């Protein structure tokens, strides 16, 4: 599936739940970051995930639904990687070249499990307790 098809299906909530996995989230983050500033990409990611979840019957509970800290932290990791290594021909090519992003456990380099899985972290962003999230060297020209 092309970036455009994946993105369109995400935005109109027709992407099947079986395809809505960690990599699919990263692909959407990549597309947003290619076209928008970090702050705009974050706002669109928040709104998009919440809308997708609502349209697909994913309820917000202590163990499921939208998670603010994970959304923001993963967007930051994709953003930093994109700024450091540059874009690729597609989101899949970018993720294939940056396989560390596809490892969900990478987040545990920055957050203890208890902190990232807390109700507070789900509801609002909490900073990491193990190591700071990386930031791009330069924020100039933050879209590609």
What tens digit of pLDDT does each residue of 36-87 get?
999 999 999 999 999 999 999 999 888 889 999 999 999 999 999 999 999 9
For the beta carbon of residue 99, count every other beta carbon within 10 angstroms.
8
pTM, two decimals, is 0.92
Which pLDDT score is estimated for 142? 56
Angstrom distance (rounded) from CA 92 to CA 97: 9
Angstrom distance (rounded) from CA 31 to CA 33: 5
């Amino acid at each position: 599936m092309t970036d455009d098809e994946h993105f369109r299906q995400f935005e109109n909530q027709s992407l099947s739940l079986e395809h809505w996995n960690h990599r699919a989230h990263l692909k959407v983050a990549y597309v947003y970051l290619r076209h928008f500033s970090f702050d705009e990409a974050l706002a669109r990611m928040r709104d998009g995930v919440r809308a997708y979840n609502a349209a697909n019957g994913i309820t917000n509970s202590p163990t499921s639904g939208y998670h603010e800290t994970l959304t923001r932290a993963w967007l930051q990791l994709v953003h930093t990687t994109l700024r450091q290594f540059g874009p690729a021909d597609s989101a899949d090519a970018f993720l294939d070249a940056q396989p560390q992003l596809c490892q969900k456990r990478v987040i545990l380099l920055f957050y203890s499990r208890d902190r990232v899985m807390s109700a507070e972290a789900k509801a609002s962003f909490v900073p990491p307790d193990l190591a700071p999230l990386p930031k791009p060297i330069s924020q100039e020209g933050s879209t590609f």
